[in-house]
Amino acid sequence: MRQALPDYPWDAMVPYAAQAAEHPDGALNLSVGSPVDATPAAVREALAAATDAHAYPATAGTPALREAIAEWFARRRGVTVSPQAVLPTVGSKELVALLPFLLGIGAGEAVVFPRIAYPSYAMGAALVGADAIASDDPSEWPAHTKLVWINSPSNPDGRVRDVAYLQAAVARARELGAVIAGDECYAEFGWDAPWDAEPIPSILDPRVVGDNHRDVLSVYSLSKQSNLAGYRAAFLAGDPKLVERLLTVRKHAGLMLPAPVQAAMMVALADETHVDAQRARYRARRDVLRPALEAAGFTIEGSEAGLYLWATRGVDAWDAVAEFAALGIVVGPGHFYGDDSPRHVRLALTAPDADIVAAAARIRGGASLAE
């Protein structure tokens, strides 16, 4: 019998959020990476113009959307894929949680994911009764592995996997006969060298796989780069045979991206100006928040890319969460991201500029954080 699913982790944050709300100047929520900046006007206009969507949309996406995705991969990721080897998804979390099901994985098989990781990878394994295995070392991946998740840049710790690591990961997955999927949703946000000056490599990068995409998928979302979290606009690309297999299952399941969202995605994919502007916003917020944390005695680990600062002061994460809550700041505990991060907290850059400035001021003035 399939085991019961765990409680939703963020429910444990309710009392800390309530404590933060009691701060005289109100709560500042840096816990969840939900965009707060405006969706680009051209994207909203494209959505509005496509609202006469009387027919069912194609699960595969329109030919124009698939061509736009393929062109984006070539231009922004240095990856060549056919329009027939891409597929829109209803956000990326849906795909992360459902991919084991879509691949037919079940009991007696394993899903591997990073040791410090977004919890939906493990949840996808739990939903199908598969073994959930946290491991960063390809040599340790077990023989019954059927799916490997690579998350680069990582949520929560912002680490980037280089070409050499990706090569080793793909080689091991193929040795095991497993599908390997790169969750690359933060790839537009590299901060520290070398990723401030060169593109973050995709798992489909020719330096990793050449022109052989067998059993390899890249997953991307427009939620962060284009502030489209509410649109649920994401996509995958890779092995044409695997994409066709996923398309068939998704057709049966009715997993269709609404036609107006498809139209909006094409506009977002074609425009780099708004991405550059969003990148600048996040960099400015990071430049305000990071030094405040360091002045308060925190060490920032990883965090060379992505939308979070992964911080530790050597105390249990729940104690740190409580200390931040006393300052009216809500942060995410490392316990949510696996057994390897019990003393870290995650702070999101997805908060208004004024909130970031206010949080930095409270942190600098918070004696309890420096004790």
Q: Is residue 45 part of a domain?
A: no
Decide if 183 is inside a domain: yes
For the chain, the maximum distance between any two Cα atoms, rounded to a whole number of angstroms, is: 62
Per-residue pLDDT 10s for the chain (371 aa) are: 355 666 677 788 899 999 999 999 999 999 988 999 999 999 999 999 999 999 999 999 999 999 999 999 999 999 999 999 999 999 999 999 999 999 999 999 999 999 999 999 999 999 999 999 999 999 999 999 999 999 999 999 999 999 999 999 999 999 999 999 999 999 999 999 999 999 999 999 999 999 999 999 999 999 999 999 999 999 999 999 999 999 999 999 999 999 999 999 999 999 999 999 999 999 999 999 999 999 999 999 999 999 999 999 999 999 999 999 999 999 999 999 999 999 999 999 999 999 999 999 999 987 556 45
Tell me the C-alpha distance between 303 and 192, whole Å.
Answer: 8
Is residue 44 in some structural domain?
A: no
Cα–Cα nearest to 207, from 162, 239, 160, 238: 162
C-alpha span between 82 and 262 (Å, rounded): 18
- Is 21 inside any structural domain? yes
Collapsing DSSP states into helix, strand and coil, what is residue 219? strand
As for how many domains the chain has, the answer is 2
CA distances from 285 to 17, 18, 290, 291 (A): 22, 25, 9, 11
The verdict on 171 and 114 lying in the same domain is yes
Are 263 and 49 in contact by the 8 Å Cβ rule? The answer is yes
Q: What is the rounded CA–CA span in Å between residue 180 and residue 110? A: 12
What residue numbers bound the domain in which 353 lies?
Answer: 9-38+274-370
This prediction's pTM: 0.93
The C-alpha atoms of residue 45 and residue 37 are separated, in whole angstroms, by 17
What residue type is 214 in one-letter code?
R
Whether 26 and 79 share a structural domain: no
The CATH number assigned to the domain holding 33 equals 3.90.1150.10
In angstroms, the CA 246 to CA 236 distance is 10
